Structure 1
Amino acid sequence: MGRTVIPYSRQMQYVESSLGQFRRGLRKPDQEIFDELIRVAKLQVQAGVMASSPYPIDTMLLTMMIDLKKEIFRLRKELENLRE
């Protein structure tokens, strides 16, 4: 029999818990940002499932970067609109 694949959502929980000490070492405002980045990664769980990567942190980081890039695009557009 083959090995059982751990559900991606559980792998994400493991990554989050393994970063617990790191999170506690952050300043309070940075902890809030960290929590927001983890929340963003959890919103894109389907992309992580589709990637089926052996390292869930890879897809979590990519989804975080995608969200940050979307925010940059949105802010640039807003800035352009204000300049006009």
Structure 2
Amino acid sequence: MGRTVPSVTQVFYQEEQALNRFRRALRRSDQQVLDELLSYTRQHLAAATYATHVLPMELFFLAMLLEEHKIVIALRQRLERLEHKQDD
């Protein structure tokens, strides 16, 4: 983007820096979860540049939700396979 409007990537890294004190206040296990959620967002930053009409934080949360839902889908499929195996 231009010089006056920060890119989604720049906004993400600014938000990540702003969360540093919050992160340090969390328990170690929660810090790891937060780090994982932020890494989910990093994975989708390139795609986020195409959604300029959406607020950056909404995009970040959507990226996190997308990755979490992929995990839920994989767990559902695994559960269905296990249930199917058990029925046989």
Q: Give the TM-score taking structure 2 as reference length.
A: 0.85
CA distance in 2, matches of 1:53, 1:33: 28
| CA displacement 1:1-48 (0-9 Å, x = unmatched) | x86221221111001011111111111011001001101101001221
* Runs of 5+ unmatched residues, structure 2: none
* 1:33 corresponding residue in structure 2: 33
CA distance in 2, matches of 1:54, 1:83: 40
Larger radius of gyration: 2
Q: In the alignment, is the contact (CA less than 8 A) between 1:37 and 1:64 conserved in 2?
A: yes
CA distance in 2, matches of 1:35, 1:18: 14
* 1:68 corresponding residue in structure 2: 68
Aligned identity (percent) is: 33
CA distance in 2, matches of 1:35, 1:53: 26
Number of residue pairs aligned between Structure 1 and Structure 2: 83
Q: Give the TM-score taking structure 1 as reference length.
A: 0.88
Is the partner of 1:72 in helix, strand or coil? helix
Q: In the alignment, is the contact (CA less than 8 A) between 1:53 and 1:59 conserved in 2?
A: no
CA distance in 2, matches of 1:71, 1:48: 20
* 1:17 corresponding residue in structure 2: 17
Deviation at 1:68, TM superposition (A): 0.6
